[in-house]
């Protein structure tokens, strides 16, 4: 399948034209929605319907406008939070005219901060009977992972160039101060993030470094500039091609090998072949069922005395356990098969299955909120260029929702970002 054939088009959104019928479920969804919103510091303007007059609910704060309430509540009844996101894609609700660029994310941040209590606790017991589970076709097996990765990362290198900074780093930056940082600070902040990971892994001249998840090659370039010999693997053919070009242009083709390779294939390689391993926001694509295999792979390839430095988007352990099988807007539309670990899950999985132990941890979720704000501003400003690449208006709404939805998670503290360093003891 070519990249062009994978791009979302009008044909991909036909399912959104089928609005679920209103009924008892929609009426219940309306009552639950009004009850939840009326105790939050937000404003929701509900348009009039045949059965309900126009009204404004909420305690005041970031605002949205619901133009088609019947559609919103029908979608909420059928697909819960997926339906909430899909209602945004269809225009059933939005931020309204002349809204601030951050209006959507500001509204979602308030919801994210209260996400565990939006649904009354007695009804939460019914969660396992109501929510849709992640399709087996998205589980992170060898058979599925390549297509999961291609769904997102093989969309178009040119698309990512439109909103990422020149380093093409697609993970949280590490700013001096996220509260005052701007897009002009992104390059330095991305290098600061990368350099800290390389320092934690002990990467210096002569280090044999494995990178799991190449991205577009910036980390490999900076590691090679230190004198390391780098083997970096990816499952994205688009990233592979551009990473090789960027590495060669930087003059490091002799020090860096970029390979299209599933991380599990490394279990067949000789043990202890690398002095250090880095992996930046790749564990989220592994799938919770495969975390033990992922850490066994790290342990297998790492030489005694070596270090692993990973960067991972994380969530609280109890929420991870409650939601890890849930099909979400993100797994349906953005990252098929994705699953966020908790720090505890990382520590316990490593301790249970390997000789790796966590020796350092840095949390910097607020930095990701700022990073995403910069990305979304750039993406929104490039709307005409996105269209010229063949992506339609629904895709642009989807991508804006994804970026602001993600920002809300970090801004509210519901999710976090960690750099975690693990060390392997020297065998005695």
Q: What is the pLDDT of residue 121?
A: 62
Query: What percent of the chain is predicted at pLDDT more than 90?
Result: 85
One domain, residues 101 and 179 = no
Strand partners, 276: 209, 307
pLDDT tens for each residue of 16-57: 988 888 899 999 999 999 999 999 999 999 999 999 999 999
Mean pLDDT, rounded, for 62-79: 96
Contact of 335 with 285, CB cutoff 8 Å: yes
Q: How far is CA 36 from the centre of its chain?
A: 26
One domain, residues 342 and 413 = yes
150 phi and psi, to 5 degrees? -60, -35
Q: What is the pLDDT of residue 120?
A: 63
Helices vs strands, H then E, count in the chain: 18, 11
One domain, residues 193 and 49 = no
Can you tell me the distance from the alpha carbon of 20 to that of 77, in angstroms, rounded to the nearest whole number?
Answer: 9
Claim: this prediction has a pTM higher than 0.75 = yes
The CATH number given to whatever domain includes residue 408 is 3.40.50.150
Q: How many CA atoms lie within 13 A of 102 on its CB side?
A: 14
Where residue 15 falls among pLDDT bands split at 50, 70, 90? confident
Q: What is the pLDDT of residue 331?
A: 94
Mean pLDDT, rounded, for 286-312: 97
Mean pLDDT, rounded, for 206-213: 98
Mean pLDDT, rounded, for 385-392: 95
Query: What percent of the chain is predicted at pLDDT more than 70?
Result: 94
One domain, residues 340 and 219 = yes
Which domain-ending residue is among 97, 130, 163?
A: 130
Count structural domains, the chain: 2
One domain, residues 260 and 377 = yes
CB atoms within 10 A of CB 287: 22
112 phi and psi, to 5 degrees? -65, -35
pLDDT tens for each residue of 144-178: 899 999 999 999 999 999 999 999 999 999 999 99
Closest CA to 81 of 132, 152, 24: 132
The DSSP bridge pattern shows strands 229-234 and 93-94 to be: unpaired
Can you tell me the distance from the alpha carbon of 231 to that of 423, in angstroms, rounded to the nearest whole number?
Answer: 20
Contact of 324 with 288, CB cutoff 8 Å: yes
Higher pLDDT, 4 or 278: 278
Can you tell me the distance from the alpha carbon of 233 to that of 249, in angstroms, rounded to the nearest whole number?
Answer: 19
CB atoms within 10 A of CB 282: 23
Which domain-ending residue is among 96, 115, 130?
A: 130
One domain, residues 222 and 313 = yes
Q: What is the pLDDT of residue 24?
A: 94
Q: What is the pLDDT of residue 1?
A: 33
**Three-state secondary structure call for residue 25:** helix
Query: What mean pLDDT, rounded, does the chain reach?
Result: 93
Can you tell me the distance from the alpha carbon of 120 to that of 403, in angstroms, rounded to the nearest whole number?
Answer: 28
Contact of 191 with 171, CB cutoff 8 Å: no
One domain, residues 245 and 190 = yes
Residue 36, CA distances (Å) to 116, 250, 329 in order: 11, 53, 20
One domain, residues 164 and 101 = no
One domain, residues 338 and 392 = yes
Q: Is the confidence at residue 129, as pLDDT, over 70?
A: no
Strand partners, 259: 233
- Domain extent at residue 45: 3-130
CB atoms within 10 A of CB 74: 24
Higher pLDDT, 14 or 119: 14
Contact of 314 with 338, CB cutoff 8 Å: no
Which domain-ending residue is among 130, 158, 176?
A: 130
Q: Is the confidence at residue 316, as pLDDT, over 90?
A: yes
One domain, residues 216 and 190 = yes
One domain, residues 151 and 79 = no
How is residue 330 written in tokens? Answer: 């993100």
One domain, residues 97 and 174 = no
Q: Is the confidence at residue 9, as pLDDT, over 50?
A: no
């Amino acid at each position: 399948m070519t990249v062009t054939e994978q791009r979302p088009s009008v044909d991909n959104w036909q399912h959104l034209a089928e609005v679920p019928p209103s009924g008892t479920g929609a009426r219940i969804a309306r009552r639950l929605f009004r009850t939840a919103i009326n105790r939050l510091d937000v404003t929701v303007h509900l348009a009039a319907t045949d059965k309900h007059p126009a009204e404004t609910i909420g305690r005041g704060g970031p605002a949205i406008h619901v133009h088609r309430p019947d559609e919103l509540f029908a979608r909420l009844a059928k697909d819960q939070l997926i339906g909430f996101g899909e209602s945004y894609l269809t225009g059933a609700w939005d931020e309204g005219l002349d809204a601030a660029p951050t209006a959507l994310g500001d509204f979602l941040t308030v919801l994210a901060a209260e996400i565990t209590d939006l649904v009354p606790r007695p009804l939460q017991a019914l969660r396992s009977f109501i929510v849709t589970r992640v399709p087996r076709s998205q589980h992170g097996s060898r058979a599925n992972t390549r297509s999961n990765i291609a769904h997102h990362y093989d969309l178009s290198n040119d698309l990512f160039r439109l909103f990422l900074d020149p380093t093409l780093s697609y993970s949280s930056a590490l700013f001096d101060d996220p509260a005052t940082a701007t897009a002009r600070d992104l390059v330095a902040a991305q290098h600061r993030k990368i350099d800290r990971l390389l320092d934690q892994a002990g990467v210096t001249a002569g280090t044999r470094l494995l990178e799991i998840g190449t991205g577009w090659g910036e980390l490999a370039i900076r590691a090679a500039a230190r004198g390391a010999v780098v083997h970096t693997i990816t499952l994205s053919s688009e990233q592979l091609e551009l990473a090789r070009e960027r590495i060669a242009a930087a003059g490091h083709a002799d020090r860096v090998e970029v390979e299209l390779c599933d991380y599990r294939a490394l279990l067949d390689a000789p043990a202890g072949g690398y002095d250090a391993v880095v992996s930046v926001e790749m564990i989220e694509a592994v799938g919770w069922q495969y975390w033990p295999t992922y850490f066994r792979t790290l342990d297998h390839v790492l030489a005694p005395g070596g270090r692993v430095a990973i960067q991972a988007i994380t969530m609280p352990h109890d929420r991870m356990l409650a939601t890890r099988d849930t099909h979400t807007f993100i797994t349906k539309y953005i990252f098929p098969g994705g699953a966020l670990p908790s720090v505890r899950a990382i520590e316990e999985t490593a301790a249970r299955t390997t000789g790796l132990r966590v020796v350092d941890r840095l949390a910097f979720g607020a930095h990701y909120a700022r990073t995403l704000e910069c990305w979304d501003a750039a993406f929104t400003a490039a709307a005409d260029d996105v269209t010229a690449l063949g992506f339609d208006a629904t895709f642009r709404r989807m991508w804006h929702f994804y970026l602001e939805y993600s920002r809300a998670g970090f801004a509210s503290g519901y999710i976090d970002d960690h750099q975690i360093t693990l060390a392997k003891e020297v065998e005695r």
